[in-house]
Amino acid sequence: MHRRHFLQTAAALPVGASYALGYADQPAKRVGLIGCGWYGKCDLFRLIQVAPVEVVSLCDVDKNMLAQAAGLVATRQASKKTPRTYSDYREMLKVKDLDIVLIGTPDHWHALPMIAAVQAGADVWVQKPISVDVVEGQAMVAAARKHQRVVQVGMQRRSTPHLVEARDRYIREGQLGKIALVEIYCYHHTRGDTNPPDAPPPDYLDYEMWTGPAPMRPYNRLVHPGSWRAFMEYGNGIVGDMCVHMLDMVRWMMDLGWPKRISSTGGILVAKNTRSNISDTQTATFEFDDLPVVWQHRRWGDVPDPKYPWGATFYGDKGTLKASVMSYDFNPAGKKDAAVHRDVTYELEQYPEDKTEERLERHCAPAIRYQMKNLLAAIATRGRPVADIEQGYISAASCILANMSMKLGRTLAWDPQRNQVVGDEEANRLLRRPYRAPWVHPDPERV
């Protein structure tokens, strides 16, 4: 088989199929990482596991985090070379010697580096959600298309082996029958509910650059490292963090596009005495043609099903499917003996580094590897990856619109052709958040 045709075929394979793409006979891709914290390193190390890449550049505004990442990369990549390090992503990209750029920054720093990376000629992996406001997402899609770059989003449910199986066996084959309701949910209690005092930023952190285009808040150790999601200034709360994964999973499994209407209610109803300003209780309904997808999160109280604290339940007239990062359960109506349970696939023997890597979500590692392989196949064919930037835009923007609906207290109807809320100028003004000077908000017409 001609090698190009083989790559095209492999890119279309179900995720559980063999990905023997012959990467070893390709020149090593030159890779840079922007954002060297928890998931930035997690994504980078999965890429190192599946392809002969050379990590040549790392960027972070935290000097300690940057130095630690550089040392770890030198032990993990085949060349044992220590990457160059930068504190400003613009200086890193100015060299224009990178084939792939990974972006693992906090959410408020996704749009500008991703656009700059494709302008510099790199293909990109960007973490979800792609943006904090809707127009950022539009600009990111426009930049990827204009510069003809492959952009994969870290929405790895699309590459999770047991979820691919669940989609193919029970949804695509029609074993659920007519699906008329999907519930998606998260009941994890983590939310940054402590209340430490503000303090000067540590000397190893460039807090001005860390804040970037976001509003400047007093430094607080809740913000960095890791708990910045507790603040709406840097992301979109639990809906932007956890709902985006499950909504995207449902859209992918059921081949759904944009919701027509989005409504949401909730707020800070229980945890009122913390610095966090994201909702601790929220319900959102995403209305597709004849299918409501209903989200709920609650950061307090009991979990309805301890096996599924974060997941999706598909209700069909012939059966029910529960799906999460850890497992799925298919229960055909009236046939208890025919129920099927499947657990997540681990690959600890094939990739023994997974056993000892600090903070690695081991159940997610195989999915990230498959998502990286899909990215590499798309780069080889110049095709669209499974979590293409446009899919990332639809899922992220839908979640942003849910938060806008809660804020405005009304249902929003979305026009995907005009990229606007129908008949609601107040809502449309919220599609673009203000940027803190000197940073300039990206414009979809000028990227």
Going from the N-terminus, what domains does the chain have, and what CATH number goes with each?
A: 3-158+360-388 (3.40.50.720), 161-198+209-345+394-429 (3.30.360.10)
pLDDT of the residue at 21: 47
% the chain with pLDDT above 70: 94
- Does pLDDT of 15 surpass 90? no
Tell me, rounded to whole angstroms, the distance of Cα 149 from its chain centroid.
18
Instruction: Give the tens place of pLDDT for each residue, 224-239.
Output: 987 899 999 999 999 9
Give the pLDDT mean for 39-61.
Answer: 97
The model's pTM: 0.93
- Does pLDDT of 24 surpass 60? no
Give the pLDDT mean for 138-151.
Answer: 98
pLDDT of the residue at 25: 60
pLDDT of the residue at 334: 86
Give the pLDDT mean for 372-393.
Answer: 98
Residue type, 362: R
- Does pLDDT of 2 surpass 80? no
Give the pLDDT mean for 379-388.
Answer: 97
Give the pLDDT mean for 177-182.
Answer: 98
Give the pLDDT mean for 268-278.
Answer: 90
Instruction: Tell me if the bond preceding 14 is cis, omega within 30° of 0.
Output: no
Instruction: Give the tens place of pLDDT for each residue, 110-135.
Output: 999 999 999 999 999 999 999 999 99
SS (H, E, C) the chain: CCHHHHHHHHHHCCCCCCCCCCHHHCCCCEEEEECCCHHHHHHHHHHHHHCCCEEEEEECCEHHHHHHHHHHHHHHCCCCCCCEEECCHHHHHHCCCCCEEEECCCHHHCHHHHHHHHHCCCEEEECCCCCCCHHHHHHHHHHHHHCCCCEEECCHHHHCHHHHHHHHHHHCCCCCCCEEEEEEEECCCCCCCCCCCCCCCCCCECHHHHHCCCCCCCCCCCCCCCCHHHCCCCCCHHHHHHHHHHHHHHHHHHCCCCCCEEEEEEECCCCCCCCCCCCCEEEEEEECCCCEEEEEEECCCCCCCCCCCEEEEEEECCEEEEEECCEEEEEECCCHHHCEEEECCCCCCCCHHHHCCCCCCCCCHHHHHHHHHHHHHHHHHCCCCCCEHHHHHHHHHHHHHHHHHHHHCCCEEEECCCCEECCCHHHHHCCCCCCCCCCCCCCCCCC
- Does pLDDT of 260 surpass 60? yes
Give 6's pLDDT tier (boundaries 50, 70, 90). Answer: very low
pLDDT of the residue at 3: 37
- Does pLDDT of 13 surpass 60? no
pLDDT of the residue at 365: 97
pLDDT of the residue at 191: 63
- Does pLDDT of 151 surpass 60? yes
What are the distances in angstroms from CA 338 to CA 167, 329, 330, 331, 333? 17, 11, 9, 7, 9
